[in-house]
Amino acid sequence: MGAMARSLLFVPGHQPQRFDKACHSGADAVVLDLEDAVPADAKAAARDAVGQWLAGRGPLGANGPLLAVRVNAADTPWHLHDMEMCSTATALQRLMLPKVQHPVVLRAVGAALGGSALLWPLIESARGMHRLDEIAAAPRVERLVFGTIDFQADMGMESHEGDDVDDDGRALLYFRSRMVLASRVAGLQSPVDGVTTAVDDAARVEADARQARRLGFGGKLCIHPRQVACVHQGFMPDAQRITWARRVVEADAASGGAAVALDGRMIDRPVVLKARAVLAAAAAVVPA
């Protein structure tokens, strides 16, 4: 399925002047948004702008971002028109579908899409979370995406005005863990965590990304280019962890694969695998 995108940057579909800038933001994936970022009276114009821009795209090269579109939900009047546009967009690599509550919707979208684009279903409701395993097993699904804000609203979780509900990470811990487990069982890429609404708080964005990484997530949604570098930093193992991983791998190689002690602790196969995963994350580069 290819390398995992750590940062998925939303760009409003009715603002095409931002599309090229987003592709040069350093984000691993650019998500052209036809849904929440676009007012109802601009839906058609946004769809046309996205379709025209995608039609003019050639190969992005080894360092280009993945190109995705977030269409409107299947129960909206714009969905079918969005799918018609996406079905002819050969440059489209991923399709993000919001408000997914049942795998039958994904099967219909996959059939209509054609081509080789893969699906990123957004889990944003109790019903979607309830059917998480079925959704993860649907055809063409590459990874799950957690729409934390809409999910919290659907669940009736309380918040202070102007604040995120999940300030300390505890409110959504169970549900995030379910996303990671379902992804692993289905053989998907690690899931994508939701947005941090604090655009100008770099430390908060990085901390949220680091927490997501610890829980087993592989990426995070971004709503502003300033968040991209913070997300990458949050998903990068720290220097001490990288040094540990290198020493483990070197010790394992020197032992010929036999169990060996390092700093008074035994190194066996699971520890070596964890160390290699750390080094892979530190060297992560997302190809087009």
How far, rounded to the nearest angstrom, does the alpha carbon of residue 125 sit from its chain's CA centroid?
Answer: 17
- 257 in the same domain as 229: no
Examine the domain organization and report whether 248 and 231 are in the same domain: no
Spatial separation of the C-alpha atoms in residues 235 and 162, rounded to whole Å: 26
**Lowest mean pLDDT, pick from 100-114, 123-137, 262-276:** 262-276
Residue 39 sits in a domain whose CATH number is: 3.20.20.60
Are 17 and 37 a contacting pair, CB within 8 Å? no
For residue 146, being part of any structural domain is answered with yes
**Does 261 lie in the same domain as 179?**
no
- Classified as helix, coil or strand, 119 is strand
Residue 285 is predicted with a pLDDT of 42
Encode 98-120: b = buried (16+ Cβ within 10 Å), e = exposed: bbbbebebbeebbeebeeebbbb
The answer to whether residues 88 and 209 belong to one domain is: yes
When computed from its CA atoms, the radius of gyration of the chain, rounded to whole angstroms, is 20
The pair of three-digit structure tokens given for residue 238, joined into one six-digit string: 């720290």
**What's the domain count of the chain?**
2
**Average pLDDT over every residue of 233-251:** 84
What is the per-residue DSSP string for 236-261?
Answer: SPPHHHHHHHHHHHHHHHHHTTS-EE
Is the confidence at residue 284, as pLDDT, over 70? no
Check residue 263 and give its pLDDT.
85
**Does some domain include residue 219?**
yes
Q: Distance between CA atoms of 216 and 102, rounded to whole angstroms?
A: 24
Residue numbers of the domain that contains 275: 239-282
Task: Judge contact between 111 and 86, C-beta under 8 A.
Answer: no
Q: Which of 14, 7, 46 is nearest to 28 (CA)?
A: 7
What pLDDT is stored for residue 135 in this prediction? 98
Q: Do 244 and 200 have their domain in common?
A: no
Q: Tell me what pLDDT residue 217 has.
A: 97
Q: Give the confidence band of 63 by pLDDT, cuts at 50, 70, 90.
A: low
Give the total residue count for the chain: 288
> In terms of domains, do 34 and 97 share one?
yes
CA angle 231, 233, 238 (to 5 degrees): 140
Examine the domain organization and report whether 222 and 243 are in the same domain.
no
- The number of helices, as runs of H, and strands, as runs of E, in the chain is 12, 10
The pLDDT assigned to 107 comes to 95
In a domain, 34, yes or no: yes
Q: What is the pLDDT of residue 276?
A: 86
Q: Which residue has the tokens 């032992």?
A: 255
Q: What percent of the chain has pLDDT over 90?
A: 72
